[in-house]
């Protein structure tokens, strides 16, 4: 019965063509967001949604030059590429809302697609090819547009409503350069946009073909390497194994302390309240802040640039390490994440909201500037904004609208909760964090104990209980 229902649902969504591949940002997001320009381009329009706006005319006038740059060196002319798009004009129109495509006849719409696609392909060539091979294009665009506009173009390409169909880009690329190397080029371009000079090892899935580059950016962010899953599985299997404690204290002493507190912790776990019920534990549905988790012996370590899904907890004898993927936080982070949230919660998108789930995770971890400072100090966050308070405000301004899926990090949350509910681990972690993480705190502890000992000793010798010395 369940298989039949799934098949009926599959047929239904195949027949439901009312949702475009490139949707508009949901209206309620625009109404609830004060900074509505996070969804609108500042310098360049791609596609029909923002085409013809007067503030975008400067780059619009440059697009015919970009078209000539794209076809330069080939034996084909503009009409050839225009005809290529015109043959698939119906599919191109179906990618957008009909009310926006009806404004243009087939020729005008085909030419708009050609100009916008060639503009994007020139940018992809600049980012993915050797600089010596595209030096003239790079210099010409920077000279004509200026550095400021050239920088804002990257920002405008991170917008949901500012996309060209992937099929159009692939068609023109293969027609111009031959072969079928567009998928690798597009993945390399997305790596550059998201991670800069870093080299993530994501195994990006290209089947089914993405609708546009913005969807591919989302896939790059959440796709993981199969090798990582093998390592993660190995780590999960060894979660309960004993590890050497990360401490400067004598291992024998800490072993005795651990056994004593561990046994006492089990006693507390068996305690019941006056009604005879077990003491309830906290919910596993949420993470806690960085500062709180650190105080309980959960320390943070960078997992490198790659998939946002690579979150894992490694338990040690006394404490634990939470590995988080590295990420840049810049002035465009909020823009990109807001648009990705809008895409994941748009109608017709039957998919796990992986990016929204990561955003919800970071919103939970980063509550105060101290939380952002700790992640920055651990090189998990690369702060390009200037202050830790600005990082807090970036994630605070993001609303996932319930689009996050709590089960995505379910295993990690469960392990964190187990660590929290283990009295032995949390108490030992608090002891180590307070007295043994710094040599100065250890010296202060020794000094305090010594002072207490000598004070007691002095009090004893000065008391009447101390027998006087016998005279000879």
> Above 70 in pLDDT, residue 277?
no
pLDDT at 19: 82
Examine residue 115 and state whether it is found in any structural domain, yes or no.
yes
* Residue 292 vs residues 25, 151, 239, 428: alpha-carbon distances, Å: 36, 38, 22, 15
Domain that holds residue 253: 227-433
pLDDT at residue 43 above 50?
Answer: yes
Q: What is the pLDDT of residue 134?
A: 60
Within-domain flag for 465: no
H or E element, residue 465: none
What token pair was written down for 205?
Answer: 């899935």
* pLDDT greater than 50 at residue 246: no
Q: What is the mean pLDDT of the chain?
A: 78
438 or 212, greater pLDDT: 212
The residue that leads in pLDDT, 250 or 406, is 406
Q: Is residue 471 part of a domain?
A: no
C-alpha to C-alpha distance for 419 and 400, rounded to whole angstroms? 28
* pLDDT value, residue 109: 97
Query: Which phi and psi angles does 105 have, rounded to 5°?
Result: -80, 175
Arithmetic mean of pLDDT, 39-43: 95
More confident residue, 208 or 115: 115
Last residue of a domain, one of 190, 223, 256: 223
92 neighbors 46 (Cβ within 8 angstroms) = no
Question: Do residues 238 and 131 share a domain?
Answer: no
- Domain's final residue, options 186, 204, 223: 223
Q: How far is CA 74 from CA 24, 65, 119, 176, 178, in A?
A: 36, 15, 17, 7, 11
**138 and 110 in one domain?**
yes
> What digits encode the pLDDT tens for the residues 312-361?
998 877 778 999 999 999 989 999 999 999 999 988 765 568 899 999 99
Specify the number of domains making up the chain. Answer: 2
Q: What's the pLDDT at 24?
A: 94
Tokens of residue 368, six digits: 């105060």
């Amino acid at each position: 019965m369940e298989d039949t229902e799934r098949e009926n649902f599959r047929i239904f969504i195949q027949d439901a063509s009312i949702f475009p591949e490139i949707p508009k940002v949901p209206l309620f997001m625009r109404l609830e967001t004060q900074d509505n320009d996070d969804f609108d381009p500042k310098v360049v329009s791609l596609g029909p949604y923002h085409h013809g706006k007067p503030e975008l005319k400067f780059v619009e006038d440059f697009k015919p030059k970009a078209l000539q740059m794209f076809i330069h060196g080939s034996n084909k002319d503009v009409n050839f590429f225009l005809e290529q798009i015109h043959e698939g004009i119906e599919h191109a129109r179906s990618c957008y809302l009909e009310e926006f495509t009806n404004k243009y006849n087939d020729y005008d719409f085909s030419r708009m697609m050609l100009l916008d696609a060639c503009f994007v392909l020139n940018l992809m060539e600049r980012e993915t090819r050797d600089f010596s091979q595209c030096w003239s294009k790079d210099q010409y665009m920077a000279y004509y547009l200026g550095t400021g506009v050239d920088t804002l173009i990257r920002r405008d390409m991170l917008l949901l409503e500012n996309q060209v169909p992937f099929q159009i880009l692939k068609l023109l690329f293969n027609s111009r350069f031959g072969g079928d190397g567009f998928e690798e080029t597009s993945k390399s371009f997305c790596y550059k946009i998201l991670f800069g000079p870093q080299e993530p090892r994501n195994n990006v899935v290209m089947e089914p073909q993405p609708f546009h580059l913005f969807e591919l950016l989302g896939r790059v962010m959440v796709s993981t390497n199969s090798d990582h899953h093998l390592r993660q599985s190995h780590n999960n299997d060894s979660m309960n194994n004993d590890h050497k404690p990360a401490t400067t204290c004598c291992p024998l002493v800490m072993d005795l302390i651990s056994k004593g507190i561990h046994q006492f912790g089990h006693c507390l776990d068996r305690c019941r309240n006056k009604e005879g019920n077990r003491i309830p534990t906290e919910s596993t549905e949420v993470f806690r802040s960085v500062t709180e988790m650190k105080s309980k012996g959960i320390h943070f370590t960078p997992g490198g640039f790659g998939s946002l899904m690579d979150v894992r907890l490694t338990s040690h004898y006394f404490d634990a390490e939470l590995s988080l993927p590295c990420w840049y936080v810049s002035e465009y982070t909020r823009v990109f994440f807001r648009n990705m949230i809008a895409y994941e919660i748009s109608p017709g998108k039957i998919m796990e909201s992986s990016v929204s789930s990561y955003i919800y995770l970071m919103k939970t971890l980063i509550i105060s500037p101290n939380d952002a400072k700790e992640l920055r100090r651990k090189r998990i966050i690369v702060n390009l904004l200037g202050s830790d308070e600005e990082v807090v405000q970036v994630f605070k301004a993001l609303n996932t609208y319930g689009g996050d899926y709590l089960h995505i990090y379910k295993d990690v949350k469960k392990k964190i909760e187990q660590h929290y509910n283990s009295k032995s681990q949390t108490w030992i972690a608090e002891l180590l964090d307070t007295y043994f993480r710094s040599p100065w705190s250890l010296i202060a502890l020794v000094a305090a104990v010594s002072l207490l000992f000598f004070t007691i000793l002095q009090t004893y010798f000065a008391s009447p209980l101390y027998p006087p010395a016998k005279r000879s």
